Amino acid sequence: MNLLYQRIYIFLFLFLFANFANAASINESQIVIDADKFEYFGGAENGKVIATGHVEASQETQKVFAEFMEYDFKKDILLAKDKVKILEQQGYIIEADKVILTDKLRLGSIYNFTVLFPDKSTLKGNFAQKSSESFSKIDKGYYTSCEICQGKSPIWNITATSTEYNDEEKHVTYKNAVLNYYGVPVFYTPRFSHYTNKAKRRSGFLVPEYGGSGYLGTAVKIPYYFNIAPNQDATLKLITTSKRKQALEGEYRLLTLQGQIDTKGSMASTEKYTPPVGQSNPNHGIRYHYNSKANLAIADNKNIGWNINNTSDKNYLRDYRYGEEDFLMSRVYNNSFQENGYYEVQAQTFQNLRPDNNPMYQTPIVMPLFESKHKLHRFSDGSSWNFDSNLLKIHRYNGPDSNRFSIKNKWEKKSLLDAGHEFKFFTSLRNDIYYYQNAPVNNKSHYTGTTSRTIPEAGLDWSYPLLRRFDSTNVVVSPLVGAVATPYSHYNNKVFSEDSGNISELTDGNLFSPSQYTGIDLIENTPRVSYGVKAMVYYKDYLNANALFGQLYRLKPSEEISGSSNEHLSDYVGRFKLDFNDTAVTSYQYTIDKENFSNKKNELETTLKYEIVYVTTSMIYYRDDQITNQIKNRREIYLETGINDYKGISASVNARKNFSSKNDNPGLQMDPNGFISMGGKVKYVNDCITYSANVNRDFTKNYSKKGDTIYWFSVALKNIS
């Protein structure tokens, strides 16, 4: 028969060899064969058919192309050769010199083949044998996930004397495997295995990290991933160091219908650890830290959760670069939010990690702390009755114990006049009861007993927004006034401040708050008035700017807030924020001296973005003997710049520098050039490999800690690592 593109129909199974392509299960279906020429030999029971020319065999999900194809009906053998090409519906392409298939085309052999996957990875072999539905064996295997260019070696590839593939588990095993980098052998292993990118989540080794620091020496992190269940997993890292022996780092994650639990930690031996003078070795010869976080919804608008932190000694977090905190706080809470308010009850503990001689555990235990705020009733005139309550118990192993119960009734009303004036009125009555043990109150250094106070207050807030439109620009200017009247009394002499500190700083954030103190222990026991102006500018989606400027007047001066026991007026405070469509964002907070209008406190943050490039800066500049974080006239600048995904490259560098004078802070220890820290990181991702590295130099030091440099880098191979 010599007809052009004659067609023959046979009922067969089309076999797509090399199930590395993760093909769908084969089902019996009709095969259509087109060819330039067909020849038939024998009968239907024991004969064969030969197709030549441009042969195309197609099924529902696959197509096979060849110059020659022969099928033996009796032996159930299909032979395809000469420019064999197999296309699969999911995008896999197989090219081979010859294919022999049997057992209804489910099993067979393939010679000198190449498999190109949709992600451009490539598998090659001299010969492959499929001996079962899910198992294949390849001689002289070659694999790379890099795109292969003519005449060039890929960035990496794996060669092996033999390769086995389990299609059911999507698992590949190599024997006598060699990893080649740009064609140069760099690593040999007698046996190596990995899952394909189509495999389900599995346990196994992850990408190792290499690095170290002055404290650790050279270090290697080898992570192992545990696939415990669909909703939970864990990672364990073995850390081997040249100076501190081994350490372990781990993380466990659990996802439930109520929320997520994430627990992580680490541990190391004390064998190579010498504690600072005045501190003892941790118990049981183990240094450690752990952190567990959770937020779980137990019912509608009801939650429980925790954030628990603990460490074995003051220096462990800094030594192993897990944190720089001065205190570790642990918190367990339960809260509920209703339509008319909320409540929260919690317990807190602390660990002192400051580099001093104070013990770690000489810190308060807060159990419980209960707070609630509810709107109990709304009156017909629009006003409302609010009720707040607070219960606090603090215990110290060596120091004062405090017990506090506070309730507050508050009447509040908001009014908007036709002319645009906005008013808010309130009156409140608060009652506090304290019970102390060994507390410095009531003119005694170790008072034990009960004290109470009643605090009435009344207040008025007024604003008058003025709107002006200029084409597409909206400008809103609002003068603001807030007045609060509290009768003068020695409220603060009767309490030991637990949650208010001893000094409250006036800022743009609390200028119009009822109290400039944090917490509720300390009371501003004088009438006071806040006044200022707020402005906002909007221009389409391109510009969003806002500013605030104001001042506070007290009938009775406050040295902590006004800066002088004789001054009724505070310094001027304000802020300014400018946002140009997220490409240029500037935020500036300041304090201006009320006498000479000099800048006393300045905090500036700026971020500039242009396509893939960004620059971020922040500056702190204090003067006139201002003290923050125990640093007088603090002056500090931070700069970071980098690029995001430029031809696969992301990189950044950063530095933080202190300009504070050593004359103002003789005990301040830092780098001779004033640097606090500097560092950088880079990541390069291409079609088949990822390089990442970061380095950071910490110049800060104290009596138990020196400056140090820490660095880590890793290399991940696509579909392998």
Per-residue pLDDT tens for 447-460? 999 999 999 999 99
Q: Give the mean model confidence (pLDDT) for residues 691-720.
A: 86
Q: Write out the DSSP string of 215-252.
A: TTEEEEEEEEEEEEETTEEEEEEEEEESSS-EEEEEEE
Position 133 confidence tier, pLDDT thresholds 50, 70, 90: low
174 and 160 Cβ atoms separated by less than 8 Å: yes
Q: Give the mean model confidence (pLDDT) for residues 529-543.
A: 94
CA dist 560 and 567 (Å) reads 11
Element (H, E) at 481: strand 473-485
Apex 531 CA angle, 529 and 532, nearest 5: 165
Q: Give the mean model confidence (pLDDT) for residues 73-102.
A: 85
| Half-sphere exposure (Cβ direction) of 305: Cα atoms closer than 13 Å | 17
348: which 2 tokens?
A: 């807190």
- Residue partners of 260: CB distance under 8 A and separation at least 6: 253, 254, 294, 295
Q: What is the pLDDT of residue 21?
A: 30
CA dist 616 and 606 (Å) reads 6
Q: What is the pLDDT of residue 312?
A: 93
Highest mean pLDDT among 116-120, 488-492, 602-606: 602-606
Residue 668 has pLDDT above 80, yes or no: no
Which residue from 71, 57, 163 is spatially nearest to 108, judged by alpha carbons? Answer: 71
- Residue listed under structure tokens 């890793």: 714
CA dist 541 and 659 (Å) reads 38
Q: Write out the DSSP string of 623-663.
A: -TT-EETTEET-EEEEEEEEEEEETTEEEEEEEEEE---TT
289 and 316 Cβ atoms separated by less than 8 Å: yes
Residue 443 has pLDDT above 50, yes or no: yes
Q: What is the pLDDT of residue 541?
A: 81
CA torsion, ordered 211, 214, 215, 220, to nearest 10 deg:
10
CA dist 150 and 345 (Å) reads 68
**Cα 251 from chain centroid (whole Å):** 14
Residue 198 has pLDDT above 90, yes or no: no
How many C-beta atoms lie closer than 10 Å to residue 26's C-beta?
18
Which residue from 619, 605, 616 is spatially nearest to 643, judged by alpha carbons? Answer: 616
Q: Give percent of the chain with pLDDT exceeding 90.
A: 55
Residue 125 has pLDDT above 80, yes or no: yes
Which residue has better confidence, 660 or 608?
608
451 and 409 Cβ atoms separated by less than 8 Å: no
Q: What is the pLDDT of residue 105?
A: 64
CA dist 551 and 508 (Å) reads 9
CA dist 456 and 486 (Å) reads 6
End-to-end Cα distance, the chain: 55
Distances (CA, A) of 470 to 9, 300, 420, 537: 77, 47, 20, 11
Q: What is the pLDDT of residue 310?
A: 95
Residue 20 has pLDDT above 50, yes or no: no
Which residue from 164, 203, 149, 211 is spatially nearest to 688, judged by alpha carbons? Answer: 149
Beta bridge partners of 544: 538, 579
Q: What is the pLDDT of residue 16?
A: 29
Burial class (CB in 10 A: 0-12, 13-18, 19+), 650: middle
Q: What is the pLDDT of residue 559?
A: 57
Q: Write out the DSSP string of 68-93.
A: EEEEETTTTEEEEEEEEEEEETTS-E
174 and 191 Cβ atoms separated by less than 8 Å: yes
Residue 521 has pLDDT above 90, yes or no: yes
Residue 284 φ then ψ, to 5°: 65, 15
b/e map 406-445, b = 16+ CB within 10 Å:
bebebbbeeeeeeeeeeeeebebebebebbbeebebeeee
CA torsion, ordered 164, 165, 171, 174, to nearest 10 deg:
30
Q: Write out the DSSP string of 291-343.
A: EEEEEEEEETTEEEEEEEEEESSTTHHHHTTS---SEEEEEEEEEEEETTEEE
Lowest mean per-residue pLDDT among 189-203, 514-528, 544-558: 189-203
Bridge pairing between strands 599-610 and 209-213: unpaired
426 and 447 Cβ atoms separated by less than 8 Å: no
Residue 574 has pLDDT above 80, yes or no: yes
Average pLDDT in the chain: 87
Burial class (CB in 10 A: 0-12, 13-18, 19+), 299: exposed
490 and 525 Cβ atoms separated by less than 8 Å: yes
Distances (CA, A) of 721 to 21, 158, 278, 342, 688: 19, 13, 46, 48, 11
531 and 550 Cβ atoms separated by less than 8 Å: yes
Q: What is the pLDDT of residue 560?
A: 56
Residue 561 φ then ψ, to 5°: -105, -40
Lowest mean per-residue pLDDT among 274-288, 359-373, 503-517: 274-288
* Total residues found in the chain within this entry: 721
Beta bridge partners of 474: 469, 538
Q: What is the pLDDT of residue 88?
A: 76
Per-residue pLDDT tens for 313-357? 988 998 898 988 888 999 999 999 999 999 999 999 999 888 776
CA dist 62 and 48 (Å) reads 23
Residue 317 φ then ψ, to 5°: -60, -40
- Residue partners of 541: CB distance under 8 A and separation at least 6: 581
609 and 583 Cβ atoms separated by less than 8 Å: yes
Which residue from 211, 356, 210, 213 is spatially nearest to 698, judged by alpha carbons? Answer: 213
Residue 574 φ then ψ, to 5°: -170, 175
512 and 479 Cβ atoms separated by less than 8 Å: no
